[in-house]
Amino acid sequence: MRARTKPICSGEFNGHFNLNIFQHGAILGRERGFITCKADGQAERRLPLDDVRAVIIAARGVTISSNFLSGLLTDAIVLHCD
């Protein structure tokens, strides 16, 4: 029986995404035009930066790189829910 992993991305709308972060301790970054998310015990996940319209962080201890923020803040919204 495989362990279930929590979804990282949901809410596709006209080809654009709301990126929902539910994994505590996740690390968000930007690399070569992609948003990257790393979490303990999971493979790195990638999503094209141009496809992201909002990021909703609903977890504690999430690390956000300055590259991640600078890439998003021109066209997207970042919201942290405690």
Question: Residues 60-78: pLDDT tens digits?
Answer: 999 999 999 998 888 788 8
User: Do the beta carbons of residue 29 and residue 67 sit within 8 Å?
Assistant: yes
| 6 three-state secondary structure | coil
* pLDDT tens for each residue of 42-54: 888 898 888 888 8
Provide the residue ranges of all domains of the chain, joining segments of one domain with +. Answer: 9-75
Give 9-75's CATH code, choosing from 3.30.1490.190, 3.100.10.20, 2.30.180.10, 3.30.590.10.
3.100.10.20
pTM: 0.76
- Residue 15: what pLDDT? 64
pLDDT tens readout for residues 4-41: 444 554 444 456 778 888 888 999 999 999 999 998 88
CA dist 18 and 76 (Å) reads 9
- In the chain, the percentage of residues whose pLDDT exceeds 70 is 80
Q: Supply 68's token pair.
A: 């991640």
